[in-house]
Chains A and B, each alone.
Chain A
Amino acid sequence: MRNGFLGYKLIGWSGAALLAVTAIMPHAPSSAWNMLKTGMQSRPGLLKKSSGSGGTTTTTTSSGSTTTTTTTTTTSSNTGTTTPTATEFSIIPSNFDVNSELVDMAVPGKDTDMGAFRFICNPGQISADDPIVFPGQPGKSHLHQFYGNTSANAYSTYQSLRSSGQSTCMSPLNRSAYWMPAMLDGKGNVVRPDYISIYYKRRPSSDPSVQAWKPAPDANKSMGIATSLPNGLRFIFGWDPTGMHPAERTGTAWFNCDGPTAVPGQYATIAEAMAHCPAGNHFGAVINAPQCWDGKNLDVPDHRSHVSYATYSNGYGYLQCDQAHPYVIPEFTLGAWYTVAPGDDTSKWHFSSDEMVPDQPAGYTFHADWFGAWDNTVMSMWMDNCINKLLNCSAGNLGNGKGMKMFSGFSWTANPRLVPIPQ
């Protein structure tokens, strides 16, 4: 009897202790409870790399190009904690007068949450090329809709992108190449989007949350270590045909509708969005790029594992990069906006890559690729001003009284909108 009572007492005190903790930490997330329950599970150690030492320096080569070496200097000098060890490509200055592509613009106001740099693009070329997955092999991929550098093709390298091509993204100051699977109408045509919105965003480098990678829980809610986009960085994000990568490597892709009779939403499939997107509206395909980088590689064999997405998986309610990808680069969101015209049978619309998995709904394979090739001077402008001064920069405004020019002939509607796929 006595022993039985002791058992009840133990249970009672345990319950009381749990209640007390609940009162003290009413918002403790699940993992906090897991820790209480399991007795302080092991925590990840601090990143042990120190400035100028440790880590693996990886020399990245591209077909038909020479890789030159310049150790990354875009580090968190104000943190003194870690330094990326990537061997990035040497700066290739623009082969035109940068000032000739700048225009006066008023310095924008502050943003409240993240520094933002936004611009817009017209659709570019359509080809079955993929300079990341199938370098040097034209026609090997599914059909892609390109944006940005007009010269991007299967043979593109950082060097070729930086030294040639115009840009559908306002100005050749941004010779980066962006591409995603072409939208097909199911009747033998590619549907070209009217325009593509691109937003680069991040917390300013002075923000305590991006000063250092620290294991959770951290008073500064450490996300990682702010760094700039290294020259030559490239990656694929979104749907992974191998199915080998966890969600933190595939990110978020969704569909939306904008316009006078649209029902906005975060729709999972093209069909769901189209059901709320009558003719006369814009159908949007939106995808977020990863914001965490390993600091070592500009590309890797699977073209994904060197970057990842910040998640809430630390269990403390704030976003954090994983320890293997501790560097926080500006994240970009790409939205391709297509006219839904009278007479369109949107039930047939699908991405070219959807044809690889015919049992899945249209839109299932949404993914995108990015091959960076910014003019370094201009990239520093929007990084130093828009991002690091927490400005709300729009329309190519660089946050320093200047903005990128828009090329002559920008169009709000795709012309032609439908182009035939060669048989």
Chain B
Amino acid sequence: MSRSNLPGTTRTALCLALILAAGACAKPRTAPNPHNDTQVGSKANKEVEALVQDIKKHPSMQAGSNEAGAPIHVDPYPHSSGMSGMGHQMGEKWNEAHSTRPAPKK
């Protein structure tokens, strides 16, 4: 008694199709990813813009407010170039590597 009426080549083709279908379903899925660049950037911008607006409404930021903290002092000027004096030298190297950019004038 025959176990199947299908010819061998058909059986082979069917089995291969099944395996291929299963393989396609089992295609590795990547982790949820960053959607697309614009969406990520826009979402981030909305968040920082909301923060900026909230800061503008902060009690300390209102005109004539006596709710602000003491003023602070920040010295914005660097007093050394860093890297134990190598910073300038490395800067030149960096500029050379980025040859489309003219080297800074000394």
Contact = CB atoms under 8 A, between A and B. Distances in A.
Answer whether A and B are interacting partners.
yes
Interface of A: 4-5, 8, 11-12, 14-16, 18-19, 22, 26-30, 33, 36, 101, 103-105, 118, 120, 122-128, 138-143, 150, 166-168, 170-172, 182, 184, 186-188, 190, 192, 195, 197, 199, 254, 256-258, 262-267, 284, 286, 311-313, 317, 335, 337, 347-348, 350, 352, 354-356, 358-359, 362, 394-397, 403, 405-410, 414, 416, 419-423
Given A141-B83, A409-B71, 13 more contacts: A18-B19, A124-B74, A126-B77, A126-B78, A143-B81, A199-B47, A264-B45, A266-B40, A286-B44, A312-B31, A394-B54, A405-B60, A408-B60
Nearest to A108: B54
27 contacts: A12-B18, A16-B18, A19-B18, A19-B25, A22-B26, A30-B28, A105-B58, A125-B74, A126-B76, A126-B78, A128-B82, A139-B82, A141-B82, A166-B70, A171-B69, A172-B69, A264-B38, A347-B100, A347-B101, A348-B95, A355-B94, A405-B68, A406-B60, A408-B71, A410-B60, A414-B76, A419-B76
B51 to A, nearest CB: 5
Contact of A335 (B8, B48, B88, B91): B48
Determine the main DSSP class of B at the interface with A: helix
B72 A409 contact: yes
Given A103-B60, A423-B81, A11 B87 contact: no
B53 to A, nearest CB: 9
Contact of A358 (B22, B47, B80, B94): B94
Interface of B: 3-4, 8, 11-12, 14-15, 18-19, 21-23, 25-32, 34, 37-38, 40-42, 44-45, 47-52, 54-55, 57-61, 67-84, 87-88, 90-91, 93-98, 100-101, 104
Contacts of B37: 265-267
B19 A120 contact: no
B84 A139 contact: yes
A352 B74 CA distance: 21
A410 B65 CA distance: 13
A137 B15 CA distance: 70
Contact of A186 (B29, B47, B71, B104): B104
Nearest to A130: B82
A320 B67 CA distance: 42
A15 B22 contact: yes
A140 B84 contact: yes
Contacts of A186: 95, 101, 104
Contacts of B79: 127, 422
A142 B87 contact: yes
A188 B44 contact: no
A181 to B, nearest CB: 10
A232 to B, nearest CB: 24
B81 A422 contact: yes
Contact of A166 (B38, B72, B83): B72
A12 B14 CA distance: 8
Nearest to B33: A312
B3, B11, B23, B69 interface centre (most CB from chain A within 10 Å): B69
Contacts of A262: 45
A265 B38 contact: yes
Contacts of B4: 5
Contacts of A168: 72, 74
A157 B69 CA distance: 25
A19 B22 contact: yes
A355 B23 CA distance: 47
Contacts of A414: 76
Contact of B51 (A125, A142, A197, A362): A197
Contacts of A8: 8, 11-12, 15
Contacts of B74: 122-125, 150, 168
A218 to B, nearest CB: 16
Contacts of A4: 8
B26 A127 contact: no
Contacts of A256: 41, 44-45
B76 A125 contact: yes
A268 to B, nearest CB: 9
Contacts of B38: 263-265
Contacts of A16: 18
A66 B72 CA distance: 29
A22 B26 CA distance: 7
Nearest to A195: B52
A106 B19 CA distance: 61
A389 to B, nearest CB: 18
A358 B93 contact: yes
